[in-house]
Structure 1
Amino acid sequence: MVSSVSGGSQPLLQVLHGHPQSRPPIWFMRQAGRYLKEYRDVRARHPGFIEFCLTPEDAAEVTLQPIRRFGMDAAILFADILLIPHAMGQNVRFVKGEGPKLEPVVSADLMKTLSADKAAERLSPVYETVRLVRAGLDDDKTLIGFAGSPWTVATYMINGQGTKDPSAARQLFYREPQMVRDLMAMLVSATADYLIAQAEAGADALKLFDSWAAGLPENVFRELCLEANMEIARRVREKTDVPILYFPKGAGALYEAVAIEGSFEGLAMDTQMPMEWAKKTLSPHVALQGGLDPLLVVEGGKAMREAVEYLVKTFDGVPYILNLGHGFVPETPPEHVAEVVKIVRGD
C-alpha cells in the first residue's frame, strides 16, 4: 500500500493529518497557468491542449514553475479534468477562445461508445509527469494529484462544452436517470483507478474538483456528488492512504454534511463560504482550505492584504491551508501572488 505516513516534514500534509501549523501552508488553484509568461512560453510549443497535458516533460515543467518562482508549499499536477472522458473514448478538443468541445453524451447509443476499462492505463503519460515532478520537488513540498469529480465531468460530457448553465445534465438525470447513473458509475471506476495510479507514481495527496456541485437539490447532491466521491475515496483507500481533499464548489449549507459524513481529510471552501461559520462548524471534522477570492489577487492592494490577513487570523489554531476559493484568472499579476505568499509567511 502507498502510504503518506503522518506528513513528515511537509506542512501541508501535517495539516491534512489534523495538525495546525504556526502559519498556514499555501498553494493556489491554477497556480500553473496563463498568468505566468514562462507557462505561456511552454504552452506555445503545443498546438493541442490535450497533447500538452500528455507530454510529461513539459507538463512537469509548468507544474514546477510556480514553486520555483513563489515557493508555495505544494505543487498541483498540471493536467485537465477532461482527460478522463478523452481516455474513455469521447471526442474531446479545446478550441482557442472557446474552451473545451465534446461530442455530447445524450443517448444510450452514445454511451456504448465509452468505456472505463483501461481508461486510466491510457493516461500513463500523466503518471510519468507525477514522477518527474516529485523528483524535482524538495522533500518538504507536497505534490497534489487530482481529478474532476464524476458529476462535474459528466456535466461537461453531457453539455458538450463548458457552460455557465449546467442544467442540461440535471435535466437529463431527471429524464433518463439510469443512463446518467451508468455514466456516473463508469466515471467513478475510471477516476478511482486514475487517482490510485497518481498516488503510486508519487502524489502525496489527492484532490477531487466538483466545480458543478452548486444548485442541486439535497437528495441529488448526496447521490451524484457526496456518495460518488465517497465511493472514489473508498476505492482509493483500498490501495493507498494518501489524504484526499474534496471541493464541492457552491454546495452552501451542504458543506456541513460533507464535513461530517464525507470521510475526506480536507475540504476546500469557495469564495462565498462564511469563514467564521466554517471554523466553528466544519473545522472540528475536517481540515479546511481556501476561501480567498481570486479577483482580489487581480486587484491587489489593501483589500487583498486585509483578506489574506483575515483568513490567517480566523483559522489560527485549526488545520487550515491558505488557498483561493477558485482558480487564478489569466490577468492575475504575478507580483500580487508573490505578495500573498509573503503575507502568509509573515515576512
Structure 2
Amino acid sequence: MGEPRKKPNAPLLKVLHGQKQTKPPVWLMRQAGRYLPEYRALRQKKAGFLNLVEDSEAAAEVTLQPVRRFGFDAAILFSDILVIPYALGQNLTFVKGEGPKLTPPLVNHTLKTLERAPQHLKAIYATVRRVADVLAPETTFLGFCGSPWTVATYMVAGEGSRDQAVTREMAYRDPQAFSEIIDAIIDSSVDYLNGQIEAGVDAVQLFDSWAGPLSPQQFERWVIAPTAKLISRLREKQPHIPIIGFPKGAGSRIKAYVCDTQVNAIGLDETVDPLWAHQYLPSDLPIQGNLDPLALLVGGDALDQAIKTILDAFSERPHIFNLGHGILPQTPLNHVSRLLEILRA
C-alpha cells in the first residue's frame, strides 16, 4: 500500500509530480459523456444513468470511449459524486429533466435515520479494475469524488441548486449537525478514494462544484478545512498518489485553498484569469485548466485564441490542459479534434 505508480511514460502523471512538459497533456472534464455518439448508444441500452454506473463492464467501456476516440492523456472513472450519499444510506435517483434526487433530505432528517449501504461502491471498484487492466501505460487513470461541501449540499437539500441556500442556512443555524454530515462524508470519501487507488487509479480529483457562493469565513470552514482533513487522512494511506483540487467559483480564494489543503495540483474554472493564476500561485504548482466550455462549443477563431491565451500564460510551469468545467453535450466532435490538433502541433 502507498507505493508510487510505475508509469514512467505517462506525461500527465509527470506533470502531477511537478515536471513541466513541452506540450501539455490534456483531458476534459465530462469527457466520457453525452457529446459522444457511442456513449449515447450505450446509455440508451442501459435505461438510466445509475444503471450504467452500477454495471462495471458498461462503466469501464464508457471510461475508455473518449481515450479510444481522441487519445486523451488521461481516462477518468465514469461514476458520479453522489455515490457517497448513496453509500451513506440516502436513496439516489436521476430524474429526467430535473437531475439527481436524494431522499430523505437531511435538512429535516438526521444521519441516524440512514442505513449505511457501502455495497453500492463495489461495482465502482470493479470498474476501476477493468479499466486499469487494459489502459495503456502512457495514459493516466484518474479517480475522483466530490469534496465534502459540495456533497453535503446535495445531501441536505436533496437536490442541486445554484445558490445552495438551504445548505448554507443550515450551516449557520446548526453548525454542529452540519459538521456531523461533513465528517461522515469525509470518512466515507477517504475509504472510497483509497478503494479506487487500491483498485488501480493513478491520481484523484476532488470536485467542489458548488464552492463559489460561500462567504470567506464559511469557505474557510466548510470548503478548505474539510478538504484539508480529507487529503491529510488519504495521504496517511496513500502518500504517493497525486491529488487535484477543483474548487469551482473560488476566485482569489484559490490561493488560500492551495496553501491550506496542500493539493498537488489545482484545477481552475473558466472565470479565473490565467495570467493572475500564474502570477499569484506557487511557480512549481501544477495548474489544470481552464478553457471555457462555450469556446469549445463555438469553435473557430474564438477557440483558437482562447487556447493560445491559456498556453501562453502557463508556458513556464507544469500545466495540464483542460476545460474550466465539463464539456457541453452539444459540443461538435470536430471542435475537440481541433483542440487536440493545436495542442499537439
User: What's the offset of the Cα at 1:7?
Assistant: 5.5
In 2, the alpha carbon distance for the partners of 1:28 and 1:41 equals 21
TM-score normalised to structure 1 length: 0.96
Q: Please state how far the C-alpha of 1:260 moved relative to its aligned partner.
A: 2.2
- Contact 1:191 1:232 (8 Å CA) reproduced: yes
**Equivalenced residues, count:** 343
**1:160 counterpart = 2:158:** yes
1:270 matched residue in structure 2:
269
**Of 221, 228, 231, the match for 1:230:** 228
Which residue identity is paired with 2:297? V
Q: Which residue of 2 aligns with 1:340?
A: 339
Per the alignment, residue 100 of structure 1 pairs with 100
State the one-letter code of the partner of 1:138. A
- C-alpha displacement at 1:5, in angstroms? 4.9
8 Å contact kept, 1:2–1:199: no
* Structure-2 separation of matches of 1:221 and 1:32: 30
Q: What residue identity is the alignment partner of 2:285? A: V
Contact 2:7 2:138 in 1 (8 A): no
Instruction: Judge conservation of contact 2:143–2:193 (CA < 8 Å) in 1.
Output: yes
Aligned to 2:126: 128
Q: What are the residue-to-residue correspondences of 1:239-254 with 2, within 5 Å?
A: 239-240=237-238, 241-254=240-253
- Deviating beyond 3 angstroms after TM superposition, the runs of 4 or more aligned structure 1 residues are none
Aligned-partner Cα distance in 2 for 1:113–1:199: 30
Letter in 2 for 1:316: S
Match of 1:186 among 184, 187, 198: 184
1:209 partner SS: strand
Q: Give the aligned partner of residue 147 of structure 1.
A: 145
1:284-299 equivalent positions in 2, closer than 5 A: 284=283, 286-299=285-298
Q: Is the 8 A contact 1:147 1:195 kept in 2?
A: yes
Root mean square deviation of aligned Cα: 1.4
> Where does residue 168 of structure 2 map in the other structure?
170
Confirm or deny: 8 A CA contact 2:148 2:182 kept in the other structure.
Answer: yes
SS at match of 2:237: coil
Amino acid at match of 2:107: V
Q: Take 1:273 and 1:162, find their aligned partners in 2: how far apart are those partners?
A: 23
What do the CA deviations read for 1:136-176 (whole angstroms, capped 9, x no partner)? 21100000000011110110111211222211100011111
Q: CA deviation at 1:286?
A: 2.1
Letter of the structure 1 residue corresponding to residue 256 of structure 2? A
Q: Give 2:53's aligned amino acid.
A: C
In structure 2, the residue matched to 1:257 is 256
- For 1:66, the equivalent position in structure 2 comes to 66
CA distance, structure 1, for counterparts of residue 167 and residue 154 of structure 2: 8
Report the Cα offset of residue 247 of structure 1: 0.4
Q: Distance in 2 between matches of 1:113 and 1:124?
A: 23
Letter in 1 for 2:43: R
TM-score w.r.t. length of structure 2? 0.96
> How far apart, CA to CA, are the structure 2 residues paired with 1:74 and 1:4?
17
Question: Per-residue CA shift, 1:164-220, capped at 9, x if unaligned?
Answer: 221110001111111110000000000010000000000000000000110212221
Question: For residues 252 and 154 of structure 2, what CA distance do their matches in structure 1 show?
Answer: 25
C-alpha separation in 2, matches of 1:215 and 1:101: 21
Retained in 1: the 8 A contact 2:89–2:117?
no
Distance in 2 between the 1:148 and 1:114 partners? 20
Q: 1:197 to 1:69 in 2, by over 3 A?
A: same
Cα offsets for 1:111-155 (capped at 9, x unmatched): 21236x663x53011011111111221100000000011110110
Q: CA deviation at 1:239?
A: 1.5
State the secondary structure of the residue aligned to 2:145: strand
Gaps of 5+ in 1: none
Stretches of structure 2 that go unaligned for 5 or more consecutive residues are none
Post-superposition CA distance 1:72-91 (Å, at most 9, x none)? 10010000001111111101
The Cα shift of 1:254 comes to 0.7
* 1:110, distance to aligned residue in structure 2 (A): 3.2
Cα deviation for residue 315 of structure 1 reads 0.8
